[in-house]
Each structure stands twice: as C-alpha cells, then as structure tokens.
Amino acid sequence: MTDDRDAALAALRDQLSELLAAQRRLRGRDAGQRKGGLSFPQFRLLRELARAPGGELPASQLAAAAELSAPTVTQMLDQLAACGIVERTRSERDRRVVTNRLTDEGRRRLAQKDADHEVKWRETFSALDRDELLAGAAVLERLARLYDDL
C-alpha cells in the first residue's frame, strides 16, 4: 500500500512540475502573441483593477493585488494606457499618486478574455464531478501552503 501511495505522491510532484513548466510556456507564448491581445499577466492585472473598490487603484496597490512588482506594473500600465485600455490620472490630493482605471475598451477586452477563459475552463473540467473538483481544489490549496512555507 505504501508503494502505491509513494507512486501517487511522485506522480503528483511530477504533474506539479509539468504545471509550472506550462505556466512558463504560457508566459513565453504571451510575449510573442500580443498583437492587440492581452497577455496573461495583463489579464490578471486588469482583473484586479476591475475588482478594486470604485474601479481604480494606484500602481503600488495594484501591484500588490496582482502579486507583481511595482516597476513591472508601471510598465504594463503605460503600455495598456497607450492602447486605450487603462486611463491613468494624477491625484488632485497628492500629485505623486497616479490612479488607474479601466476604459470602456478595457472593460470590453477584459470581458472577452474572461469569457474565452471561462469556456476553456469549463471544457477542460467538464468530465469531473463535484467531488473530484473539490479534491483538486484541496490539493491545490495544500500546494499553495507548501510553496508559502518553503
């Protein structure tokens, strides 16, 4: 029985490595496929901006929410503003602070990318029942704690 469990544990470790490699490949593909589309990091950033109270945040708070570095977020916001996806406004109260909000075009593009991801998500997991999905969520939760503890 221990051999079966050890084999399953090794399979989980291997699949986690594959997942992380797939994530790296996704970032690599994103870099070459922008052509008006949103990269995955941009998508994450815009999702956090859309969730913000009042729909706006300064770059530092947005970076923390999206778990990205402040310089990376500032560069991304500059690119997104140039494309008309984000509007950047200097605060009247503190001129050092620049707030960011989605434009109508930004909301449209975010909604489209969200819808595309939702379709793929549902297709990918359509064969799993509720209990299997909850078991997967529990495994991912443990993996997140493991990585936080390393």
The predicted-structure confidence for 34-51, as pLDDT tens digits, reads as follows 556 788 888 889 999 999
Q: Are residues 66 and 29 in the same domain?
A: no
Average pLDDT, the chain: 89
What does the pLDDT read at residue 33? 52
Its pTM surpasses 0.85: no
Residue-number span of the structural domain to which 114 is assigned: 36-149
| Residue 20 and residue 59 share a domain | no
> Within this chain, do residues 19 and 55 fall inside the same structural domain, yes or no?
no
Please, which pLDDT band fits residue 31 given cuts at 50, 70 and 90?
low
Asked if pLDDT for residue 82 goes beyond 90, the answer is yes
Residues 16 and 64 in one domain: no
Task: Report the CATH number that the domain containing residue 78 is assigned in CATH.
Answer: 1.10.10.10
* pLDDT bucket at 23, cuts 50 / 70 / 90: confident
68 and 100 co-located in one domain = yes
Is 26 found in the same domain as 83?
Answer: no
Do residues 15 and 75 share a domain? no
The answer on 55 and 106 residing in a single domain is: yes
Note whether 89 and 144 are same-domain residues: yes
How many CB atoms neighbour CB 37 within 10 A?
Answer: 13
Instruction: Judge if 42 and 93 occupy the same domain.
Output: yes
DSSP single-letter state for residue 34: -
- Confidence band (pLDDT; 50, 70, 90) for 134? very high
On whether the CB atoms of residues 57 and 65 are closer than 8 A, the answer is yes
Give yes or no: residues 20 and 78 share one domain.
no
Question: Is residue 1 predicted with pLDDT exceeding 70?
Answer: no
Question: 104-124 and 40-51 helices cross at what angle (nearest 10)?
Answer: 110
Q: pLDDT per residue over 44-71, tens digit each?
A: 899 999 999 988 999 999 999 888 898 9
Structural domain count of the chain: 2
- With a pLDDT cut of 70, the percent of the chain lying above it is 94
Whether residues 29 and 78 fall in one domain: no
Q: How far apart are CA 140 and CA 148, in angstroms?
A: 12
